[in-house]
Amino acid sequence: MRKTICIANQKGGVGKTTTAINLAATLAAAEKKTLLIDCDSQGNASSGMGIEQETIREKNLYHSLSGRVPLREVIVGTQIPHLDIVPANQDLIGVEIEFVNLEDREKKLRNLLKNLDAAYDFIIIDCPPSLGFLTLNALVASDYLIIPLQCEYFAMEGLGYLLNTVRLVKSRLNPSLTLGGILLTMFDTRNLLSHRVSEDVKKHFGKNVFNTIIPRNVRLSESPSHGLPIIMYDIRSRGAIAYMELSREILANGRI
Ligand SMILES: Nc1ncnc2c1ncn2[C@@H]1O[C@H](COP(=O)(O)OP(=O)(O)OP(=O)(O)O)[C@@H](O)[C@H]1O
Ligand SMILES: [Mg+2]
């Protein structure tokens, strides 16, 4: 059965895209057929996967969300076997306003996925840093939510609001939405604050926190500029090892 996971947190720069790209790539490396959907007008997941701008202009999520073509027609292959992507770019900027009067506007992505008959094991959706139309569509389309939390001061700020939105979506629009887990990112072992934040988060959220913690790792921040997921850029880096561990945890523990 296909599992759809959205990576969301309205806070900016917490590691959503890095997690979406590298979770998708490590699941594909485990021979799970995976589709990464870039649901952010910044298009970071698309460029981070090395998709050419020209290709993105021709095939992107906007074309399908706006009803012009089925999702299947904007899926692009990647250099990783078993991994495809639906790219995005600034075309998505206006959708919130453009779709304001449309019926079922928050179910657009869900309906596109429902009509997609390709055999994927996992669909990973990278969300923008807001709780607007696109994140709402991603939450409504997903079975699971992963929330990346940066191990910094204010990490949990706004989390209550996000979890409340999840509760609303679950009760009104998508009863199957489940918290897959909170993922601690950019953990710096030498920084006392990182330790304190991770302890606090674990105290609050207990079993809902992934055992895997993503370390702060320069190789992880370099890899998107080469258009490569970390396992293709530097498989021996601590970042690569951590994301491989995350996909192993997800495949093994049965929560997702
Ligand atoms: N574990 C890490 N170690 C070092 N740098 C990281 C790590 N994770 C992410 N980064 C870097 O931090 C920045 C923000 O990460 P990323 O783009 O994944 O966050 P985001 O939540 O998707 O941001 P946005 O909210 O803008 O979409 C990027 O430059 C990325 O390369
Ligand atoms: Mg991002």
What number is the average pLDDT over the span 208-231?
Answer: 98
The CA 160 to ligand 2 mean position distance, Å, reads 20
- Condensed to tens digits (0 to 9), the pLDDT of residues 159-210 reads 999 999 999 999 999 999 999 999 999 999 999 999 999 999 999 999 999 9
- Residue type for 210, please? F
Q: What is the largest CA-CA distance in the chain?
A: 51
Give the environment of ion ligand 2: residues with CB less than 5 A.
Answer: 16-17, 44
Q: CB–CB of 131/163 below 8 Å?
A: no
Q: Which residues contact 237 (CB under 8 A, 6 or more apart)?
A: 217, 219, 220, 230
Q: Atom 29, ligand 1: which residue's CA is nearest?
A: 221
- Condensed to tens digits (0 to 9), the pLDDT of residues 39-92 reads 999 999 999 999 999 999 999 999 999 999 999 999 999 999 999 999 999 999
CA-to-CA distance for 242 and 250, rounded, in angstroms?
12
- pLDDT bracket for residue 242 (50, 70, 90): very high
What number is the average pLDDT over the span 116-135?
Answer: 95
Q: Please give the number of the atom of ligand 1 that sits closest to the Cα of 148.
A: 21
Q: Which ligand is nearest to the CA of 146?
A: 1
CA-to-CA distance for 206 and 133, rounded, in angstroms?
30
* pLDDT (0 to 100) of residue 101: 84
In this prediction the pTM is 0.97
* pLDDT (0 to 100) of residue 199: 94
The CA 15 to ligand 1 mean position distance, Å, reads 4
What number is the average pLDDT over the span 215-237?
Answer: 98
Ligand 1 pocket test: pick from 18, 92, 185, 188 the residue with the most ligand atoms within 8 Å of its Cβ.
18
* pLDDT (0 to 100) of residue 102: 85
* pLDDT (0 to 100) of residue 131: 94
CA-to-CA distance for 93 and 134, rounded, in angstroms?
10
* pLDDT (0 to 100) of residue 183: 97
Cα 59 from chain centre: 19
- pLDDT bracket for residue 234 (50, 70, 90): very high
* pLDDT (0 to 100) of residue 208: 95
Ligand 1 pocket test: pick from 147, 221, 241 the residue with the most ligand atoms within 8 Å of its Cβ.
221
CATH class of 3-253: alpha beta
Q: Which ligand is nearest to the CA of 218?
A: 1
CA-to-CA distance for 56 and 68, rounded, in angstroms?
16
* pLDDT (0 to 100) of residue 255: 77
Residues with CB under 6 A from ligand 1: 12-18, 40, 42, 44, 129, 185-186, 214, 216-217, 220-221, 224, 239
Ligand 1 pocket test: pick from 7, 9, 11, 17 the residue with the most ligand atoms within 8 Å of its Cβ.
17
* pLDDT (0 to 100) of residue 21: 98
SS (H, E, C) 60-110: CHHHHHCCCCCHHHHCEECCCCCEEEECCCHHHHHHHHHCCCCCCHHHHHH
List the helix and strand counts (H, then E) for the chain. Answer: 12, 7
Q: Atom 13, ligand 1: which residue's CA is nearest?
A: 13
CA-to-CA distance for 204 and 201, rounded, in angstroms?
5
- Residue type for 186, please? M
Q: Which ligand is nearest to the CA of 215?
A: 1
* pLDDT (0 to 100) of residue 202: 94
Two tokens, residue 198: 């991770």
H or E segment to which residue 18 belongs: helix 16-29
Distances from the Cα of 244 to the Cα of 61, 111, 150, 230, angstroms: 27, 31, 19, 10
The CA 19 to ligand 1 mean position distance, Å, reads 8
CA-to-CA distance for 204 and 221, rounded, in angstroms?
29
* pLDDT (0 to 100) of residue 154: 84
Question: Strand, coil or helix: what is 116?
Answer: coil
- Condensed to tens digits (0 to 9), the pLDDT of residues 84-112 reads 999 999 999 988 888 888 889 999 999 99
The CA 23 to ligand 2 mean position distance, Å, reads 14
DSSP 214: P
